[in-house]
Structure 1
Amino acid sequence: MSHIVLGYDGSDFSVRALEWAIEEAELRRLPLLLAHAWQWPYGQAIEEAKGHLRKAAEHVLSHGAECARASSSGVRVDTDLYEGSAARRLVGLSGGAALVVVGSRGLSALPRAVVGSVAGYVAAHADCPVIVVRGPGPGPARTGPIVVADRAPGPAVLEFAFGEAALRQVRLTTSADLAGWAELYPGVRIGPGDEPATLMVTGRRQGTRFGAAGFLLQHAPCPVAVVAEP
């Protein structure tokens, strides 16, 4: 768990995710890996045409890396260019990562459209926590609370939520039993905040349907962290 992975495609949604990923890398003092995947969408292709597409993909990734280096405070930025499925590549990279950050277009008419998107697929299958940054709007909030949105959060969810609250020096809001957790994180204030949430955190349990996480990926007013529970 030595770096942050960002899924980057040059869209407004991934640019906002880039802002969030840089902040996470700075707070955690970890390097950032920008990952971009490309693939020929029209069946059989001549190599020259595929070469042009690859060059375009290289340009997108290079530009993202330049932006990250220019706007961060000494974060090491590496890149990963992959031919194939973006969703599967990000899941593959999640095995050695502390966190994966992806952008999302936000509201969708159909739940299955969210779950079937790159962001939804990664959130449902990654080996590490995934933050889905919804919509292209302004950069990440810094002062609102971290909200545990799981009705019965497991230890992985609470550990991640407390960790984020400690890093960002903001409140933690939850209705869960926190016996023992407050002692582990004495610097974290617990209780509702006066400002909109910075981040909502929920769990994803293996062998079950996407459930509450899928609902939040559709409707939450802020970025959502999905944390795998045993």
Structure 2
Amino acid sequence: MHHIVLGYDGSDFSMQALDWALDEAELRKLPLIVAHAWQWPYGKADEETKAHLRKAAEHVLWHGADCARQTSSGVQVDTDLYEGPAAEHLVGLSGGAALVVVGSRGLSALPRAVVGSVAGYVAAHAQSPVIVVRGPGPLPAATARGSIVVAETNPDETVLEFAFGEAELRQLPLAATVDLTEYSRRHPGARLRRSADHAPATLMVVGRKHPEHLLRHAPCPVAVAGPAG
């Protein structure tokens, strides 16, 4: 668990994810891996044609890494270029990651099969926690300093540990509807609210069993933690 992984495709949505991933890397004092995957989508192609596509992919990855280096305060930024499906590769990278961060292209507009998207697939199958950074439009939105909200009534230990850790790192209150005395002792820097009602959320945290509703409708980034599906 020695780095943060960012899935980056050059879109405005992945720029939102980049901002969040940099925050995580700075707060955790971990390096950031900017990962980009590419593949020829039209069947067989000659090597020259594929070389042009690879060159474009290299440019996308260079742009993301350069943005990260220019805006970070000393975070080590590495790159990962992969030929093949992005979702499966990010799941593979999650095995050695503290966290994977991906952008959302507005999952509320998709059919119910959220797992068909890169973000949904990674959230369901990654071996590390995943943050899906949702945004209301094509431009990054400023994140209000609200609460870290545990968005289920019977969260498992992985969900609670992640939520407490984020609240402590970001110095934000934690809102939940369960008794968290034990976790409060382990995370004295987390300020606990006993109810999630009417608490504006900076981040919502949920387990991997049923994250689909939040991934489609949450008004803020969603963290998915727990055993991989």
Pick from 167, 174, 177: which aligns with 2:176? 174
Q: Is 2:121 the counterpart of 1:121?
A: yes
Aligned pair count reads 223
| Residue 203 of structure 1, aligned match among 207, 215, 224 | 207
Q: Deviations over 1:175-230 (max 9, x none)?
A: 0121311111122111168762110000114xxxxx2x010000000000000238
Partner of 2:112: 111
Deviation, structure 1 residue 67 = 0.4
Which residue of 1 is the match for residue 162 of structure 2? 160
Find the aligned partners of 2:54 and 2:151 in 1 and give their Cα distance. 40
Give the 3-state SS of the residue equivalent to 2:93 in structure 1.
helix
Q: Counterparts of 2:110 and 2:79 in 1: how far apart (Å)?
A: 33
1:85 aligned residue: 85
Rounded to whole Å, the distance in 2 between the matches of 1:3 and 1:142 is: 26
8 A Cα contact 1:146 1:200, kept in partner: yes
CA deviation profile, 1:39-80 (whole Å, cap 9, x unmatched): 000001011000000000000000110000000000000000
1:2-81 counterparts in 2 under 5 A?
2-81=2-81
The two structures, once aligned, show a CA RMSD in angstroms of 1.5
In the other structure, the counterpart of 1:208 is: none
Equivalent residue in structure 2 for 1:218, among 216, 219, 226 = 216
Give the Cα–Cα distance (whole angstroms) in 2 for the partners of residues 64 and 185 of structure 1: 34
Distance 1:163 1:71, change over 3 A: same
Per-residue Cα deviation, 1:124-173 (whole angstroms, up to 9, x for no partner): 00000000001244356262100000221011000000000000000000
The answer to whether the Cα contact below 8 Å between 1:204 and 1:229 also exists between their aligned partners in 2 is: yes
Q: Where do 1:183-194 residues align within 5 Å?
A: 183-191=185-193
Compared with structure 1, are the counterparts of its residues 109 and 58 closer, same or farther at alpha carbon in structure 2 (3 Å cutoff)? closer
Is residue 143–residue 195 contact of structure 1 (8 Å, CA) maintained in 2? no
> Which residue does the alignment assign to 1:227?
225
Instruction: Name structure 1 gaps, 5 residues minimum.
Output: 206-210
**Structure 2 letter corresponding to 1:65:** A
Identity within the alignment, %: 67
Runs of 4+ deviating beyond 2 Å: 135-142, 192-196
Secondary structure of the equivalent of 2:153?
coil
Kept after mapping to 2: 8 A contact 1:20/1:139 = no
Match of 1:149 among 151, 169, 176: 151
Q: Distance in 2 between matches of 1:137 and 1:62?
A: 20
With normalisation by structure 1, the TM-score equals 0.93
